Structure 1
Amino acid sequence: MPHQQPPWVYDRRRALGRRIRDLRIREGHTQEAFAEMTDIDRRTFQRIEAGTSDPRYGDLLRIADALGVPLSELVR
């Protein structure tokens, strides 16, 4: 049986997704184009932005690099 996360984990995951979405939109990228440029599956990227998926560290590094922000700013 999977371990259920505390509510604050879900809140922070959603906040991370919102930050990624806001930065992506600010840069003028569609979800599809951004997923392609970061080599992340489009559906996976949609789940990351929606806060329903725990992104892998490598995905976060590629997202931060593509957005031109330090990883620390992305996950603050």
Structure 2
Amino acid sequence: MAISNSTKIGVVLAVGILGGLTSNLLSLLLLAVAGLLIAWGQNPQGTEAFFESLPYGNYSSKAFSRLSAILS
């Protein structure tokens, strides 16, 4: 099974955050972003559907699409 770029970046980000916990709030935020990138890499359609079901979901979905384009 091939691992997508979003999943790889999410795993690297999660390991980096867990390795250097300098700021609790920043590390929690980056760990949440890493988890979302991992989930998005595994199931993009399901993750986008989850974002769109949230309040202001279209904005967060667009933001993660732009983040994914930047990281790719």
Q: What range is the shorter-chain TM-score in?
A: 0.3 to 0.5
- Name the structure with the higher helix share: 2
TM-score by length of 1: 0.36
